[in-house]
Amino acid sequence: MRTPKCHGRVIATLVGCTALVLAVTGTAPAQAGQRAGAERQVLPAGDGWAAYGAGTTGGAAADRSHVYTVTTWEQFKAALADGGSAPKIIRVRGTIDADGPSCDSFAVPGYDFGAYLAKYAPESWGRTTTLDGEPADSPEGLRRASAANQDAYIKAEVPANTTVIGVGKDAGFNGASLQIKGVDNVIVRNLRFESPLDCFPQWDPTDTADGNWNSEYDSAVVYGSTHVWMDHDTFTDGDHPDSTLPYYFGRIYEQHDGELDIVKGADYVTASWNVFEDHDKTILVGNSDSAATAAVDRGHLKVTFHHNLFRNLVERAPRVRFGQVDSYNNHFVAGDGYSYSYGIGMESQLVAEHNAFTLPAGAKAGSILKKWKEAPVTAADNYVNGRRTDLIAVHNAEVPGETLQSGAGWTPALRTRVDPARAVPGLVGHRAGAGRVG
């Protein structure tokens, strides 16, 4: 058996990959539907945690030689790599395929998914040993090598002092994994991200009693970076929802990871007016309880979410560890399979205020908060299906043995405008997401 085909999209050829062409268009006029100067807008003063200290300006100060317009993944990666940390603006035109011609194109010689399934079937391999010790010439070793090819192709590292902005109404990436890693001052706006599909998920027989397929690649990850503004972006599984994924060994062949993960001591992030939709594990703020991670994350992971639409998600909107997260004026619309919205994790200090929740019949308001660890929460002036609801009280009443404590221990100061919670569904519905800047 071959690698399951995971993308219907096909790029005709990769031949052009080595002939990088940068379209330098510093004098290009603004496109219809995008106000002149949107690409040089900076985060307004006081607008969430990314406004803290020096604030977030991205590439607003770029000179004309550092303004790029790109229409292919190769051009985008070349523009990212050009000019070091000099302020730059990268304008993305149209939808760019970042996922290569096919999953098979990443596979190393000898990789065979059928052989993988044959060797690691629970009936023969068992459920007590991971595959991590498998040698390079084993099915797992060949999977690792194939995964490394995909990893190198679909990841793109964003340097400091950069604005990446979509032009007009249809700009974005299919299958990209944006790495905002170890840098300061980045703006990402007006882009639609269709989730990457991991072509080579790893079987872990020891993950839960039944084992699990684990995959990599978030649409965007903020990893140890500071001053990041994610604004008017759309994150979605798009044409590849989990419902289309196959099962092997009785477990879903999970090919998605997160939509936007904020990890490893990242700090001062504002996510505003985005749409996060049609996905399972959506946003991590902090990715581990381990002592090593705690040492990096403690005192950091300060993130503001406001005026975002969280639609048809299963969980993690977000799941928080360590950070002081301010979530206000967001609209959460639950669908089938809804598990929870806010995950209360280790040493987190979530403030959730003035939000609106739309739950289907049968979903319980007590599920909006999920307690993973003992950590305090502030929740006030939230509306569930149009009714003002004390999220902590209803959680504690509906979920025996998971008592949450009220009072996060800090008061958010970095808010520009707070709208009445009951106005949020209309505001966010009309204005959030990609294609609407300018």
In the complex, the residues that contact Ca ion under the rule CB under 5 A are 198, 215, 217-218, 256-258, 261
The rounded Cα 265 to chain-centroid distance in angstroms is 16
Task: For residue 389, give both structure tokens.
Answer: 């609801």
β-partners of residue 387 are 384
Minimum Å gap between C-beta 65 and Ca ion is: 35
β-partners of residue 284 are 319
Minimum Å gap between C-beta 280 and Ca ion is: 11
CB neighbours of 291 closer than 8 A, spacing ≥ 6? none
Decide: 318 and 334 in contact? Cβ < 8 Å: no
Minimum Å gap between C-beta 206 and Ca ion is: 20
Minimum Å gap between C-beta 337 and Ca ion is: 18
Minimum Å gap between C-beta 161 and Ca ion is: 25
Q: Is 316 designated active site? A: yes
Closest residue to Ca ion in the complex (CB): 198
State which residue, 256 or 371, has the beta carbon closest to Ca ion.
Answer: 256
State which residue, 212 or 406, has the beta carbon closest to Ca ion.
Answer: 212
Decide: 308 and 342 in contact? Cβ < 8 Å: no
For residue 104, the tally of other CB atoms under 10 A from its CB is: 14
Rounded to whole angstroms, the Cα distance separating 202 from 147 reads 9
State which residue, 258 or 286, has the beta carbon closest to Ca ion.
Answer: 258
Rounded to whole angstroms, the Cα distance separating 236 from 219 reads 9
Q: Which of 419, 407, 354 is nearest to 382 (CA)?
A: 354
User: Which one of 40, 311, 316, 321 is the catalytic residue?
Assistant: 316
**Total count of residues recorded for the chain:** 438
Decide: 17 and 32 in contact? Cβ < 8 Å: no
DSSP assignment string, 272-327: ES-EEEEEEE--EES---SHHHHHHHTT---EEEES-EEEEEEE-SSEESSS-EEE
State which residue, 242 or 419, has the beta carbon closest to Ca ion.
Answer: 242
β-partners of residue 260 are 220
State which residue, 196 or 425, has the beta carbon closest to Ca ion.
Answer: 196
Element (H, E) at 424: helix 424-431
Three-class SS state of 92: strand
Minimum Å gap between C-beta 246 and Ca ion is: 15
Minimum Å gap between C-beta 210 and Ca ion is: 20
State which residue, 292 or 361, has the beta carbon closest to Ca ion.
Answer: 292
State which residue, 263 or 275, has the beta carbon closest to Ca ion.
Answer: 263
β-partners of residue 385 are none
Rounded to whole angstroms, the Cα distance separating 149 from 105 reads 9
Minimum Å gap between C-beta 221 and Ca ion is: 6
Phi, psi of 193, deg, nearest 5:
-110, 110
Three-class SS state of 416: coil
State which residue, 320 or 408, has the beta carbon closest to Ca ion.
Answer: 320
Three-class SS state of 157: strand
The residue type found at 49 is: W
Active-site residue set: 316
